[in-house]
Amino acid sequence: MTQPSPTATPQATRSEREPEVRSQDQAPARQAPIIQVTGLEKTYITARGSLNLFRGLDFEVEAGAMVAIVGQSGAGKSTLLHILGALDTPSAGTVYCASTDVAKLTQRQAAAFRNREIGYVWQFHYLLPEFTALENVAMPLLARDMKKREALQLAANWLREVGLEDRSEHRPGELSGGEQQRVALARALVNNPRLLLADEPTGDLDEVTAGRVFDLIERLHASHGLTSILVTHNLELAARCTRALRLESGRLTPLADLPKTDLPAGSN
């Protein structure tokens, strides 16, 4: 229920002011989570038989949260991100992401959903080498049939956001690893998505550069009201998130159960 302004005018009647007083047992309405996964199952058929990554996996993510997922290589961290981002489909269960049941989307609908709601960053930047940084950032906008001039202007704004406005005409091969990942981050967010999914976004960087990129992710997460899920093997960075989970044997458990050491790198 919408609350009245705390600066009510003296002319306000008592009945108008009464909603400001809330009884102790009246809790505020709980907002629906932006991600809600119920009974998630994912099974792969291999030469050795069935491989079950998830069995009855349930979890929720509230809007505005910054969630880290850690785990050993092969635990299914990347697969989970792919399912949330409509890049893969579950074998069973429901996956609501940004009010959309992504498990039921057609390929065309999934592509439109990703372009509209999801910003995705991988461990490797996947920038197109023949295009400039500016052109790479503009690609998602051009895919939406935005006019090129407008797309390039918005892309330039995002390069400024990540501190690379002076590198806009450089191609990926002319940029450092940290700069390439910052361009990839700008490209992921140029459509103003609600969700940022990042798969080992600092895994290919040295410790100092990784820290700077993570600082940038934190800043953009806060300033743009994102909900972010990051897969990482770095427990120090994971501990900086609002919530940290371990994926093991198809289950998510609190990070507090983990030893305070880095896990072996791996984005599976």
Share of the chain above pLDDT 70, in %: 84
Specify the long-range contacts of residues 209-218, CB closer than 8 Å, at least 24 apart: 209/176, 209/177, 209/178, 210/234, 210/237, 211/237, 212/178, 213/178, 213/181, 213/182, 213/185, 214/240, 216/162, 216/163, 216/182, 216/185, 217/185, 218/66
CB 246 within 8 A of CB 71: yes
The predicted model gives 202-231 an average pLDDT of 92
Confidence of residue 66 (pLDDT cuts 50, 70, 90): very high
pLDDT for res 29: 53
* Cα 187 → chain centroid: 13
Structure tokens at 260: 């305070």
- Calculate mean pLDDT across residues 61-75: 90
- CB-CB neighbours of 21 under 10 Å: 7
Residue 174's region, left for phi above 0, alpha for psi from -120 to 50, else beta, is alpha
Q: Between 135 and 257, where is the model more confident?
A: 135
Q: Domain 32-257 is classified in which CATH homologous superfamily?
A: P-loop containing nucleotide triphosphate hydrolases (3.40.50.300)
Pair of tokens at residue 160: 């400024």
Segment 100-125 shows an average pLDDT of 89
In this prediction, residue 99 carries a pLDDT of 83
Residue 103 has pLDDT above 90, yes or no: no
In contact, 182 and 121? CB cutoff 8 Å:
no
Query: Does the pLDDT value for residue 52 go beyond 80?
Result: yes
CA dist., res. 142 & res. 254, Å (int): 40
Mean pLDDT within 214-241: 92
pLDDT band at 31 (very low <50, low <70, confident <90, very high): low
Confidence of residue 45 (pLDDT cuts 50, 70, 90): confident
Residue 20 pLDDT > 80, yes or no?
A: no
